[in-house]
Amino acid sequence: MVQGYKLVRSDAWYRTIIGRLYHHCARLAFGLSIRDVDCDFRLLRREVFDRIKLESTSGFICTELMKQVQTAGFRVVERPVHHYPRVFGHSMFFTPKVLRILPVFLRAWWKLILCPALARLPRPGRRSLPLMRKAL
């Protein structure tokens, strides 16, 4: 997979601050090792989509994609890209509705990080049964 990262972000100051805050939260919460979670320049082989399943339908899909790609063990190569100011339209992410991403973020963290970690924990009493059978 090839993942881009913005050399210089050509956005208003508040978009830059919110973008950096989201990026650092996503990297910390999901253990991502890429420079720019939300850079929209990506090249992926078909094999990636054969092995992962994306569930998000919001702007969080970029973070979900990168977490699943990293977990699946795919090699990610990062390349710098230029970022240009928006000429037409406006972002749907940078509105007061941006707070709607918080429950999505927390549900995904629960599913992608916490549940797999809990599944790996040893369960008390499980190992003692085979040992007890051998002793009898």
Q: What's the token pair of residue 40?
A: 């929209």
What order do you get walking across the sheet with 2-6 strand by strand? 42-43, 2-6, 77-81
| Integer Cα distance of 13 and 100 in angstroms | 21
21, 5 Cβ separation under 8 angstroms? no
pLDDT in tens, 111-124: 888 888 777 777 66
pTM (predicted TM-score): 0.74
Cβ neighbours of 22 (radius 10 Å):
20
Q: What is the pLDDT along the chain (136 residues), one digit of tens a residue?
A: 999 999 988 888 888 888 888 899 999 999 999 999 988 899 999 999 999 999 888 878 999 999 999 999 999 999 999 998 888 877 666 566 667 778 888 888 888 888 887 777 776 655 544 554 444 4
Q: Beta 77-81 vs 2-6: how paired, if at all?
A: parallel
E-assigned strands of the chain? 2-6, 42-43, 77-81
